[in-house]
């Protein structure tokens, strides 16, 4: 596969994209299954109220939703910046 510098650059770029995608996917999995496991194994903690009406569970659920969105935003920032610039180089 080597010898051709353009091909090597593509190889590196593809590897970088899968790496970023894998890290972010794992982060999503950790956030989600962290929430699910707390729901399953620590109901008392989830029911504890931070202020009257606002339980730990509700806050964490909302945090997971916002985190999931933020992670897609993070990916977009990386991809629109670094990744797209490298791709642009490669296309020329």
Partner 1 sequence: MNPTSVSPTQLGQPNSTAIGFFILFVGVTLGITYWAARKTKTTSEFFAAGGGVSALQNGFALAGDYMSAASFLGIAGLVATSGFDGLIYSVGWLVGWPVVTFLIAEPLRNLGKYTFADVVAYRLRQTPVRLSAAVGTLTVVSFYLIAQMVGAGNLIHMLFGLSYEMAVVIVGAVMILYVLFGGMIATTWVQIVKAVLLLGGATGLAGAVLYKFGFNPATLFNEAATRYGPQVLAPGALVSNPLETVSLGLALMFGTAGLPHILMRFYTVPDAKAARSSVFYATGLIGYFYLVTFILGFGASVLVGRQAITGVDKGGNMAAPMLAEVVGGTGFLGFISAVAFATILAVVAGLTLSGAAALSHDLWSSVVRKGEAPEHEQLKVARLASLFLGVLAIVLGVVFKGQNVAFMVGLAFAIAASANFPALLLSMAWKGFTTRGAVASMLTGAISSVLLIFLSPTVQVDLLKNATALFPLKNPGIITIPLAFVVGGIVSLLSPEREASSRFAEVKHRMHVGLGKPSPVAAVPSTATASAASTPSATATPSKA
Binding site for partner 1 (CB under 8 A): 1, 6-7, 10-11, 13-14, 17-18, 20-22, 24-25, 28-29, 31-33, 35-37, 39-41, 43-44, 46-47, 49, 51-55, 57-58, 61-62, 64-66, 68-69, 71-73, 75-76, 79-80, 84, 87, 90-92
Contacts of 71 (CB under 8 A, 6+ apart): 24, 27, 28, 31
State which residue, 72 or 82, has the beta carbon closest to partner 1.
Answer: 72
Residues 92 and 10 sit within 8 Å (Cβ to Cβ): no
Q: How far is the CB of 73 from partner 1 (least distance, A)?
A: 6
> How, if at all, do strands 49-51 and 54-55 pair?
antiparallel
Residues listed for the chain? 92
The least CB distance from residue 82 to partner 1, in Å, is: 13
SS3 at position 1:
coil
Between CA 16 and CA 9 the distance in angstroms is: 10
Q: Which is nearer to partner 1, 69 or 82 (CB)?
A: 69
């Amino acid at each position: 596969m080597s010898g051709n510098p353009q091909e090597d650059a593509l190889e590196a770029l593809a590897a970088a994209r899968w790496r970023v995608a894998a890290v972010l996917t794992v982060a999503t999995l950790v956030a989600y299954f962290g929430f699910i496991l707390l729901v399953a194994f620590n109901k008392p903690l989830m029911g504890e109220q931070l202020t009257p009406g606002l339980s730990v569970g509700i806050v964490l659920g909302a945090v997971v939703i916002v985190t999931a969105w933020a992670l897609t935003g993070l990916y977009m920032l990386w991809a629109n910046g670094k990744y797209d610039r490298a791709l642009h180089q490669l296309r020329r």
